[in-house]
């Protein structure tokens, strides 16, 4: 078989593509364009030189958009919602869009070329993180399940609550305490977590602002460590060891007895906010298994019978 014609056609196409790309760069000028980004309850505006990609302009202006394929239009992670502007959807983008998404203006930021003013919407990063934590996976589509008619919904009301003056003061005091410690984000979050018993959303926003760190970066740390919680926890955190030694000695039965007694499942909090149950892998007392912790108190050689007494003791504390 003679491949020469195929090679010649491919070369011609390649040359045409290169010439078009050069012509586009050198001959077409789009002038200055304004990009308005709605994110985390705020609108940010900046002016860019037209002709570049939306993703690069967003990244340059410190707008956090996931993009794992580096603009090759093959990962689908860089989705944003274009409210106005942005030109027609490209075939490469269509692969990643459901019909519903197409109708609501979803675009791959790496495929949109800035030719005119653009208005875009990026969902609250905290909402995204919460859905990742809840679903234990990152699915780009989950970012958008909270959006309907340009409104965020499904965000718990308490997450929107403003911070009381006293709580603001507490956060500033903690940050001040660590102000001269390099990379103190973990101890700062630990202290905040133990002060509030979890990491409330307004506190995280205030912390990010006060230490001049993007909220997304703070959340990256928060979700990396199991010890941090984005949900309110009870006054007493009961941590049941489910490591091998404890498992063999009946940790499963103890956990069931606790869940039955408190009427909640592992990971949940009682309605009166007294108890939260969590499971961990080994707390370093294997010789005295099965073991559980209530706050910082370690209870060794636990039995199902002792569960009842334990709950009563801390319930009255």
Retrieve residue 149's tokens. 């008619």
CA 169 vs CA 106, 201, 218, 222, 228: distances in Å: 41, 16, 20, 21, 21
Candidates 11-19, 74-82, 148-156, 256-264; binding stretch for ligand FES (CB under 6 A): 74-82
The residue to which tokens 């984000």 are assigned: 185
Please pick, from the candidates 67, 118, 147, 208, the single residue that binds ligand FES as defined by CB under 6 A. Answer: 67
Candidates 56-64, 72-80, 160-168, 175-183; binding stretch for ligand FES (CB under 6 A): 72-80
For residues 152 and 124, the answer to whether their CB atoms sit within 8 Å is: yes
Candidates 39-47, 203-211, 241-249, 254-262; binding stretch for ligand FES (CB under 6 A): 241-249
Please pick, from the candidates 30, 59, 75, 101, the single residue that binds ligand FES as defined by CB under 6 A. Answer: 75
Candidates 63-71, 134-142, 149-157, 177-185; binding stretch for ligand FES (CB under 6 A): 63-71
Q: Is 221 in the site for ligand FES (CB under 6 A)?
A: no
Q: Which long-range contacts (CB under 8 A, 24 or more apart) does 87-92 make?
A: 87/112, 87/113, 87/115, 87/116
Q: Is 95 in the site for ligand FES (CB under 6 A)?
A: no
Q: What is the distance between the alpha carbons of residues 108 and 55, in angstroms, rounded to a whole number?
A: 8
Please pick, from the candidates 114, 289, 302, 307, the single residue that binds ligand FES as defined by CB under 6 A. Answer: 289
Smallest distance from ligand FES to CB 73, Å: 5
Q: Is 294 in the site for ligand FES (CB under 6 A)?
A: no
Q: What is the distance between the alpha carbons of residues 207 and 215, in angstroms, rounded to a whole number?
A: 8
For residues 78 and 88, the answer to whether their CB atoms sit within 8 Å is: no
Task: Give the number of other CB atoms < 10 A from CB of residue 230.
Answer: 18
Which lies closer to ligand FES via its Cβ, residue 230 or residue 251?
A: 251
User: Nearest CA to 168 among 196, 143, 132, 142?
Assistant: 196
Candidates 7-15, 127-135, 147-155, 280-288; binding stretch for ligand FES (CB under 6 A): 280-288
Q: Is 142 in the site for ligand FES (CB under 6 A)?
A: no
Retrieve residue 154's tokens. 């499904």
Q: What is the distance between the alpha carbons of residues 175 and 181, in angstroms, rounded to a whole number?
A: 10
Angle between helices 185-196 and 201-210 (to 10 degrees): 150
Q: Is 285 in the site for ligand FES (CB under 6 A)?
A: yes
Q: What is the distance between the alpha carbons of residues 241 and 237, in angstroms, rounded to a whole number?
A: 13
Q: Is 204 in the site for ligand FES (CB under 6 A)?
A: no
Residues 6+ apart with CB under 8 A from 108: 73, 76, 78, 79, 92, 93, 96
Q: Is 108 in the site for ligand FES (CB under 6 A)?
A: yes
Please pick, from the candidates 17, 47, 84, 244, the single residue that binds ligand FES as defined by CB under 6 A. Answer: 244
Smallest distance from ligand FES to CB 213, Å: 24
Q: In 3-state terms, what secondary structure has residue 43?
A: strand
Candidates 67-75, 147-155, 223-231, 255-263; binding stretch for ligand FES (CB under 6 A): 67-75
Query: Which contiguous run of DSSP H or E holds residue 306?
Result: helix 304-315
Number of residues that bind ligand FES (CB under 6 A): 23
Smallest distance from ligand FES to CB 251, Å: 7
Please pick, from the candidates 63, 110, 215, 262, the single residue that binds ligand FES as defined by CB under 6 A. Answer: 110
Please pick, from the candidates 241, 254, 262, 310, the single residue that binds ligand FES as defined by CB under 6 A. Answer: 241
Query: Which contiguous run of DSSP H or E holds residue 234?
Result: none
Give the residues lining the site for ligand FES (CB under 6 A).
67, 69, 71, 73-78, 108, 110, 241, 243-246, 282-286, 289, 291
């Amino acid at each position: 078989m003679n491949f020469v014609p195929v090679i010649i056609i491919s070369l011609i196409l390649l040359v045409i593509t290169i010439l078009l790309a050069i012509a586009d760069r050198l001959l077409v000028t789009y002038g200055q364009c304004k990009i308005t980004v709605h994110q985390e309850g705020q609108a940010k505006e900046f002016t860019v030189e037209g002709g570049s990609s939306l993703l690069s302009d967003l990244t340059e202006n410190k707008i956090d958009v996931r993009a794992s394929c580096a603009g090759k239009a093959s990962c689908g992670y860089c989705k944003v919602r274009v409210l106005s502007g942005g030109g027609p959807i490209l075939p490469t983008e269509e692969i990643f869009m459901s019909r519903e998404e197409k109708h609501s203006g979803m675009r791959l930021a790496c495929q949109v070329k800035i030719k005119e003013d653009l208005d875009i919407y990026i969902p609250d990063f905290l909402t995204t993180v919460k859905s990742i934590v809840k679903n234990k996976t990152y699915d780009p589509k989950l970012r958008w399940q909270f959006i309907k008619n340009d409104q965020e919904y499904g965000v718990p009301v308490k997450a929107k609550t403003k911070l009381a003056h006293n709580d603001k003061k507490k956060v500033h005091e903690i940050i001040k305490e660590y102000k001269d410690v390099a990379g103190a984000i973990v101890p700062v979050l630990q202290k905040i977590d133990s002060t509030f018993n979890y990491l409330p959303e307004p506190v995280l926003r205030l912390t990010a602002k006060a230490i001049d760190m993007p909220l997304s970066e703070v959340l990256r740390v928060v979700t990396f460590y199991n010890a941090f919680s984005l949900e309110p926890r009870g006054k007493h955190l009961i941590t049941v060891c489910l490591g091998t030694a404890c498992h063999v000695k009946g940790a499963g039965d103890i956990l069931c007895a606790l869940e039955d007694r408190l009427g909640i499942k592992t990971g949940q909090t009682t309605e009166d906010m007294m108890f939260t149950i969590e499971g961990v892998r080994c707390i370093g007392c294997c010789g005295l298994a099965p073991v559980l912790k209530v706050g910082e108190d370690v209870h060794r050689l636990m039995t199902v019978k002792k569960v009842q007494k334990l709950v009563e003791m801390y319930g009255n504390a």
